[in-house]
Amino acid sequence: MWLDISLIVIILSGIVLLGSSRIGTIIQLFAFQSLVLSSIPLQVDRAGLNWHVLTIAFGTLIVKVFVMPNFLFWAIRHVRLRREAPTILGYGKTMLLGGILVGMAFYISSKLTLPDRYFSRLFIPAAFSIFAIGLLLLVSRVKAITQVIGYLVMENGIFLFSMLLLDKTPFLIEMGILLDIFVAVLVMSIVINNITEDYEDTNTLNLTTLRD
């Protein structure tokens, strides 16, 4: 029951994410989603708590709930950015599209037969949905920082999917993934700062104009 509710709360926060325009709110929503996500390893583990599961949960908690949001907040303070520019589609349409994508994710996963065990019937649909929502966020927003968050939400979906193979994944790979995203966020923040210095704005549409 709690696993199902956590999964639905993760999808729910993704849909709210699609409709919000303040960058501070978006970062907080991402942190909230990651908080719920970091409790998933503890909930799916049937063999009792071992250090492998605990490290994954706490590693996710520290990196995705505390370090990365703080880092992103630092970045928006640095470039004095508060609001997203108007999106390509508009918020209402983006949210409706998100709903359709979630529906498709549920449909696809109902057709999909995965060989491994299921913890919950919502597990794979939720992973697909978060992945699709992250992708939608990535392509529909124009500010670089929101695109970074879209990428991170997408990664949350992959993380959820990898939970199915929790006891088969070596610990080193999990940590490698976390390090990978951390570096990606670091690089993106620096890129955002450089875009701002060159163009006085973080709108990625500016990158298509030619300048000396």
Partner 1 sequence: MLPIFSHILFVLALSPLLLGVIGKTKAFFAGRWGPPLLQPWYDIAKLFRKGVVYSTTTSWVFKLTPVVVMATALASCIFVPWGSIAPPVYFWGDALLFIYLYGLMRFFLIIGALDTGSSFEGMGASREAAFSCLSEIVLFMDFILLVMVSKSLVLCNMLNTGFFSSWLSMGPVLVLVAVSFFLVMLVENSRIPIDDPNTHLELTMIHEVMVLDHSGYDLGLILWGSYIKLFVLGSVLVSLFVPAHLSPLTGVTFFLCGMGVLGITIGVVESVMARLRLNRVPHLLIGAFVLATLGFIVILLKGA
Name the segment binding partner 1 (CB under 8 A); options: 96-104, 179-187, 190-198, 203-211.
96-104
Site string for partner 1, 105-134 (x = CB under 8 A): -x---x----------xx--x---------
Contacts with 5 (C-beta within 8 Å, 6 or more apart), sequence order: none
Residue 21 and residue 157 in contact, taking contact as beta carbons nearer than 8 Å: no
Q: Which is nearer to partner 1, 89 or 164 (CB)?
A: 89
- The full DSSP string for 37-50 is HHTHHHHH--S---
- Whole-number Cα distances in Å, 44 to 61, 99, 133, 189: 16, 26, 23, 34
Of 76, 102, 132, 148, which one interacts with partner 1 (CB under 8 A)? 102
**Closest distance of CB 118 from partner 1, Å:** 12
Distance of CA 168 to the CA centre of its chain: 23
Query: Residue 82, Cβ neighbours under 10 Å: how many?
Result: 10
Using CB under 8 A, count the residues that bind partner 1.
25
Q: Which is nearer to partner 1, 103 or 176 (CB)?
A: 103
Q: Which is nearer to partner 1, 14 or 69 (CB)?
A: 14
Rounded CA gap, 187 and 171, in Å?
25
Q: Which is nearer to partner 1, 106 or 182 (CB)?
A: 106
Strand partners, 22: 83
Task: Point out which residues bind partner 1 (CB under 8 A).
Answer: 1-2, 4-5, 7-9, 11-12, 15-16, 19, 91-92, 95-96, 98-99, 102-103, 106, 110, 121-122, 125
